[in-house]
Structure 1
């Protein structure tokens, strides 16, 4: 039987309690309020101060209650797990959330949607990136040294997984990170060309232009390869 979900965009604490009691018989309003006080869930508030829980809030509560019931995890550890999920990592059946080991691939010619901003961008630590990409620390050091993988603050985006994986595959053909700087330069030039049209801020045209430039790049490379 499918579990009930909140109706509309948000639900009051009483409705959320009814939803959760179908799975967690011992949950109470006091428990939900306690989890909020501990910073594990942050429902919106109406002008009158009433809590309004979104579907994402309810899923978050389910995660907390499940981790307590099935894994006996303390709230401190669960809060760390939630922080990892907020960075785009995926919940695991047991243990902390993990970074995806593969990202959606673009079939055929790239389209604008492939370059559109996603709702949740990955923010990986260095160790999480290495694990997800399956690359040694030395290779990642070289990729960073040549500007092919760049951290924003202390985190890396999901594209860093793809770059590291492809670099490792190219290394099997004798192409080292220092040989790949031309790709970074070409990408920088293509981005510069796009910004000449759209400006430095992302616009509705940005993703479409990015798809067109990559399609052109692919066709040019293909046209210059020796014919079989």
Structure 2
């Protein structure tokens, strides 16, 4: 397959994937299509399965490319790593469409009624979450997996007496972190080479993961002191 045909195979599950993203993954050594005598890339079904595997882990597990590459390199050497960081266990073979969606319970976009049913949030709670910018519907009135995660978290917090109005600091903190990420990735995004957008997205992902890790460590340390 050429790169256009590969995109056709992947677009159903990964609408945002682009040719520059695939070239970036090749540049980073995660996929190695063979080349024709004229230098054109030719992808096999195994290459597409490998790309689906990588994209699904990025989307659903937020794993940085270095972690995914280390795992795949081990598989390529004939090793049999038992799991990826975070405890996700996968057989080092091709990834089906179904498995790609099941990696972290990834779901299609939900209607408001479906969001309410799947998350366990009442209509009033969802209204408040939207009011405070915690969740948002797309132009078709549907909600993505991030809204689902936010709604589920809000249900747990509400059970402890924390209402959406108490959660405004989380929105403010997220906006500040996004500002930092945009500041760092702006020079990458402004470049005009084909892989610049993919590099910016991967850098943003890595910074986001580090921010979440720092936040978790700081809160965890405070909670640990409560046990002393």
TM, length-normalised to structure 1: 0.47
When Rg is computed on C-alpha atoms for both structures, the one with the higher figure is 1
Q: Which has the higher contact order (CA 8 A, sep 6+)?
A: 2
* TM-score (normalizing by structure 2): 0.47
**Comparing both structures, which one devotes a greater share of its residues to helix?**
2
